[in-house]
Amino acid sequence: MGTIRTIQTDELVNVVKEMCIKANHFLAPDMDRAMKDALESERSPLGKQILSQLQDNLRIAGEEMIPICQDTGMAVLFVEIGQDVHFEGMLLEDALNEGVRRGYAEGFLRKSVVSDPLLRVNTKDNTPAIIHYFMVAGDKVKITFAPKGFGSENMSRVFMLKPAEGEEGVKKAILTAVDDAGPNACPPMVIGVGVGGDFEKAAIMAKQALTREVGERSPLPHIAKMEEEMLSKINQLGIGPGGLGGTTTALAVNINTYPTHIAGLPVAINICCHVNRHITEVI
């Protein structure tokens, strides 16, 4: 064990605040590249026109500081905490939420969170965030901020498959989810998939898979192969940019896996739109 490092929670507040603003106005370089490549390869004339307007949209967003999309999302944070870190100041959770609160206020971002799923009263500051904590080795804190719009979130699915359904079953589940999502998920989409674990582990893996760089393949050869095969199949669905037909339906399929139970094969498919926002900072 190393020596304990103290981090002031005020620092976290500022980092999160800046991440909220940046992620909602600038796509990460990997997504930016993928969108430019799609414009080159799309075969539908209308699809091409839409992709070229999405390029204009990104340019305007950055130049004039208008959010890329008006749905600036529910704030999702993946927080990896080195176990040699000690926090001083606020409760960690309060600090992270304070960062979100300030980011959404100062960045002129839309407040899209209701306090109760049935009573539906807007909290007016986009909190609380959804926070996933992971304890890791070291004395650093790594925060990934990935605001999620609900047009695509609403099209996400969890399937509890039987082990006998195997690889074919997983592929079918992915294709079904994407086909059903169609125009609602603002294609071209990015598809995050979690296979294995249990019910909630699969869903969290699927969300985390969305933060992996587009173009980066799974380190597991059989999974990397499935990612490529599924991307090509999805792009044969014909959904296309805006769902108005074309050869670019998805930009990437990222699959994460975890050991599972002898009796199960959970598959979660988290669908994201082309505004796949993710940004990471290490403190």
Partner 1 sequence: MNKSIQLPITAEVASKLHAGDYVYLNGVMYVARDAAHKRMIESLEREEGLPIDIENATIYYMGPSPAREGKPIGSAGPTTASRMDKYAPTLLDLGQKAMIGKGKRTKEVLDAIVRNKAVYFAAIGGAGALLSKCIKESEVVCYDDLGAEAIRKLRVEDFPVIVVADCEGNNLYETAVKEFRTIS
CB of residue 61 to ligand SF4, shortest distance in Å: 12
Beta-carbon neighbour count of residue 177 at 10 Å? 23
Per rule CB under 8 A, count of chain residues that contact partner 1? 50
Binding to ligand SF4 (CB under 6 A) within 255-274 occurs at 273
Strands 189-197 and 76-82: unpaired
* C-beta of 46 vs 283, nearer to ligand SF4: 46
Q: Is 161 in the site for partner 1 (CB under 8 A)?
A: no
CA–CA distance, 103 with 10 (Å, rounded to integer): 14
Tokens of 51: 């992709």
Q: Is 210 in the site for ligand SF4 (CB under 6 A)?
A: no
CA–CA distance, 96 with 245 (Å, rounded to integer): 41
User: Where are the strands (E) in the chain, listed by range?
Assistant: 5-8, 76-82, 85-88, 130-136, 141-145, 157-161, 189-197, 250-260, 265-272, 279-282
Binding mask 204-243 for partner 1 (x = CB under 8 A): -----------------------------x--xxxxx-xx
Q: Is 171 in the site for partner 1 (CB under 8 A)?
A: no
CA–CA distance, 47 with 49 (Å, rounded to integer): 5
Q: State the residues that interact with partner 1 by CB under 8 A.
A: 43-44, 46, 49-50, 53-54, 56-58, 60-61, 64-72, 108-112, 122, 124, 149, 151, 154, 182-184, 186, 233, 236-240, 242-247, 273-275
